[in-house]
Amino acid sequence: MTSSSPTILQRNLARLAAHIVVALVALVVVGGATRVMEAGLACPDWPLCYGSLLPGGKMNVQVFLEWFHRLDAFLVGIALLTQLGLGIFYRSQLPKWLLWSYGLMVFLVSLQGLLGALTVLKLLPSFVVASHLTMAFVLLSIMSGVAQSLLTINGATPPLWWKPFCGLSLFAVIAQSLIGALMATSWSAQRCIAQSEACNPFELHRFFAMPVALLLLAFIVTAFLAGGWARKQWPFLIGILSLLTLQIVLGILTVNSSLNEPLIRIAHQLIAALLVATLAGLSSRRSLPLSKSRILLKDSYMEACHG
């Protein structure tokens, strides 16, 4: 491939990848809503719900959340299998790393389904629920990276420090989210605020919030000071700064409300998912020449950039 811009096939695969990113973000958010609304066992069996594909007679808010979460996960699995099939069919026209990425994601989504089953069959054990969320973030990271890699496949190479710094920031956000999940699934925050007991996960989440925030700020400041390629990613960098600011505000509001506002807690998880998607996409991004970027804009392919 000697072209300086993605082929039509690569752009179409990037568009599909971007749509899967949206579905994965929705999966994380609906999963968070399911946990916050205590709906994790609203469907007592698995993979069906009350022995049916559509439990109409049992439907309420909690059952709907759990049922819709499973439906979204099923659609994500179908989309990933479709990607893998397309990758195999067009393998001669695609880079080898792409097919391996597709295969890895299908394997991971299979593990994710197993973890989802265990959350129900084992009655919501804290570690399994936290692992379920972590796996979702890993899938989201890979998918977002694939979308940006395809979209800017032959663009300018970022500086050497870019990927390690961005990758470290991504790892920190996922690790902090994992601690938050362990805190939430063990009800540590509620017990700590109300009864001053089981405070370790809660305090650990609060303790690491500041270093993670400072790491993200250091990454943003370094990119702007470095100039050149890094500074040209300013829309992404401003996006990360905005998401980080909003996440801090939501975290403060969550504690001040004693975790009694479900919408704030759900929004907190949504922002975490968006941070993961943005950082993962940015770590895999290359820059296209200005003329090529205009061509992509005219062809309406810029919608894939949100991945």
Q: What is the pLDDT of residues 50-65, one digit of tens each?
A: 888 888 788 888 899 9
pLDDT in tens, 204-240: 888 899 999 999 999 999 999 998 999 999 999 999 9
- What does the pLDDT average to over 159-165? 93
Whether 124 and 221 map to the same domain: the answer is no
Instruction: State the pTM of this model.
Output: 0.85
Q: Say if 61 falls within a structural domain.
A: yes
124-127 long-range contacts (CB < 8 A, ≥24 apart) are 124/40, 124/41, 124/185, 126/182, 126/185, 126/186, 127/182
Predicted confidence at residue 279, as pLDDT, reads 96
How far is C-alpha 16 from the chain's CA centre?
A: 16
Whether 138 and 231 map to the same domain: the answer is no
Q: Residue count of the chain, please give it.
A: 307
Nearest alpha carbon to residue 30 among 182, 183, 142, 133: 133
Whether 193 and 144 map to the same domain: the answer is no
- Round the average pLDDT of the chain to a whole number and report it: 85
Which residues, other chains included, contact 297 with Cβ-Cβ below 8 Å and sequence gap of 6+? Answer: none
SS3 content of the chain, % helix, strand, coil (to 5): 80, 0, 20
Whether 150 and 6 map to the same domain: the answer is yes
Whether 274 and 304 map to the same domain: the answer is no
CA angle 116, 117, 119 (to 5 degrees): 65
Does residue 45 contact residue 117 with C-beta atoms inside 8 Å?
A: no
Whether 76 and 141 map to the same domain: the answer is yes
- pLDDT > 90: percent of the chain: 47
Whether 175 and 94 map to the same domain: the answer is no
Predicted confidence at residue 196, as pLDDT, reads 75
Q: Say if 164 falls within a structural domain.
A: yes
Count of domains for the chain: 2
Q: Say if 6 falls within a structural domain.
A: yes
Whether 253 and 305 map to the same domain: the answer is no
The overall longest dimension of the chain from CA atoms, in Å, is 65
Q: Say if 144 falls within a structural domain.
A: yes
Cis peptide bond prior to 47, omega within 30° of 0: yes
Amino acid at 30: V
Whether 181 and 241 map to the same domain: the answer is yes
- pLDDT > 70: percent of the chain: 91
Q: Say if 138 falls within a structural domain.
A: yes
- What does the pLDDT average to over 115-124? 80
- Residue 268 to residue 254: CA distance in whole angstroms: 8
Segment of 112-116, 153-157, 244-248 carrying the highest mean pLDDT: 244-248
Q: Say if 182 falls within a structural domain.
A: yes
Predicted confidence at residue 193, as pLDDT, reads 74
Whether 24 and 129 map to the same domain: the answer is yes
Whether 151 and 181 map to the same domain: the answer is no
Q: Say if 291 falls within a structural domain.
A: no
Q: What domain range includes position 68? A: 1-155+300-307
Residue 113 has pLDDT above 70, yes or no: yes
SS3 36: helix
Q: Say if 145 falls within a structural domain.
A: yes
Whether 58 and 99 map to the same domain: the answer is yes
